[in-house]
Amino acid sequence: MYPASFKSKVKHLSLALLAAGTLSACSEAPQQQAGFGMQPANVSVTHVSTQSVPFNIELPATLLGDKEVEIRARVPGLIESRNFDEGQYVKAGHSLFTIELKPFELELEKAQADLHAAEANVAQAKREKDRLERLKDERSVSKRDFDNAVSAYDISLANLESATVALNEAKLDLEYAQVKAPVSGIIGRERESQGSYVSGPTVLLTELTDTSVMRARFGFSEREQLAMRKDVELGKLTLPNNNEFDATIILQDGSTYSQQGKVNFSDVRVNRFTGTSELQARIANPNGELRPGQFVRVQLSGAIRNEAIVVPQRAVLDNGTGKFVYVAADNEQGMKVALPAPVEVGEWVNLNGQNMWVIRSGLQPEQPVIIEGMARIFFPGMPVNIAAEGE
């Protein structure tokens, strides 16, 4: 048995230890609840603001020559010669094919002879009319004979006109026997060989493409056009004058073509199968680097997005249900924590060499958006330590 004094001391010590343990547990509870025992993540933030940024659109496109011409003979006959090498550059007026000339030369000679005969008939009919006119004044010839002479003269004049037209047609057919390039450009492969008979314009001989200027054709969705019109009406978007967007060609390897073009055509019709309307840009091609049929991407620039909020692309995350960013906010205990903010993104822009997302909704100016250290945030509401501010 212990003395009463000893039992009293033990009782008081036990109560003191229990009280101390309770106080310790209470003081640690908020910290454990806030971070589950984890250290705050070091992050960097930027305070977003509104600014005017370039508005660019990038779309797939197909290249065509400025002029793409089907070469056809305008007269029938045998192909006597081909006067080009396939794939070579030819100037406008260069003879591409020669249709057998002899039949057309003979037709020209016949037309010339017919013209001479018609001229002689006119001269004879005029002499007869003049002779009878003098006799008519002397009342030595009947009115009927004189009228017949006048009619014969008029008919001879009409025959002369017809012979003149026939001569011009013969000259034209002889000229058409030389199938010439209507424009300068690159000639394609022959479709009909030397010695083949062609029946005229129904037969395709070859194709000629003017590549000094190229056309980029591309479709622009009606949905995106409606969104742009709405932004213009709300003052959020300013389009270039006369909607003449600058056009930059991006090649298959990702490189940018050196010459810049302009959008010069926008079809008013919408394709009912694709939901797009066709646009076209013209781009100079002095060195022939661009070729018809190439698949490229065309970047349209010249518009301005007004009062836009932008964030670095790396700050925008995707959780499978949509895109979001982390913003730094104060919790109830006054600690900085990372909270997800769902956002609607617009187009990409490049500012000072940095790729950015335009945020159409979900953020307000001056909100602190976390742009570095997102990988250290393991759950919404995790404590963060702002190590740096800025981009």
Averaged pLDDT, 274-292: 95
Q: Which domains does the chain have, with CATH numbers?
A: 46-63+211-389 (2.40.30.170), 74-99+180-202 (2.40.50.100), 102-176 (1.10.287.470)
Res 144: pLDDT: 84
Averaged pLDDT, 299-312: 95
Tell me the pLDDT of the chain averaged across its residues.
88
- Whether the pLDDT of residue 12 is over 80: the answer is no
Averaged pLDDT, 259-281: 93
Averaged pLDDT, 328-346: 93
What is the share, in percent, of the chain residues with pLDDT greater than 90? Answer: 76
Res 135: pLDDT: 81
Res 130: pLDDT: 85
Res 133: pLDDT: 82
- Whether the pLDDT of residue 196 is over 80: the answer is yes
3-state secondary structure the chain: CCCHHHHHHHHHHHHHHHHHHHHHHHHHHHHHHHHCCCCCEEEEEEECCEEEEEEEEEEEEEEEEEEEEEEECCCCEEEEEECCCCCCEECCCCEEEEECCHHHHHHHHHHHHHHHHHHHHHHHHHHHHHHHHHHHHCCCCCHHHHHHHHHHHHHHHHHHHHHHHHHHHHHHHHHHCEEECCCCEEECCCCCCCCCEECCCCCEEEEEEEEEEEEEEEEEEHHHHHHHHHHHHCCCEECCHHHCCEEEEECCCCCEEEEEEEEEEECCCCCCCCCEEEEEEEEECCCCCCCCCCEEEEEEEEEEEEEEEEEEHHHCEECCCCEEEEEEEECCCCCEEEEEEECEEEEEEEECCEEEEEEEECCCCCCEEEEECHHHCCCCCEEEEEEEECC
Res 136: pLDDT: 76
Taking CA atoms, 111 is separated from 76, 156, 163, 301, in Å, by 19, 16, 7, 61
Question: Residue 36's pLDDT band (boundaries 50, 70, 90)?
Answer: low
Phi and psi at residue 120, to the nearest 5° = -65, -40
Highest mean pLDDT among 5-14, 31-40, 170-179, 222-231: 170-179
Averaged pLDDT, 130-134: 83
Averaged pLDDT, 40-47: 93
Res 352: pLDDT: 86
- Whether the pLDDT of residue 14 is over 60: the answer is no
Question: Residue 129's pLDDT band (boundaries 50, 70, 90)?
Answer: confident
Res 390: pLDDT: 64
Q: Give per-residue pLDDT as tens, 221-237.
A: 999 999 999 999 999 99
Averaged pLDDT, 119-143: 85
Question: Residue 1's pLDDT band (boundaries 50, 70, 90)?
Answer: very low
Averaged pLDDT, 285-306: 95
Q: Count CB-CB contacts under 10 A for residue 159.
A: 18
Question: Residue 391's pLDDT band (boundaries 50, 70, 90)?
Answer: low
Res 13: pLDDT: 35
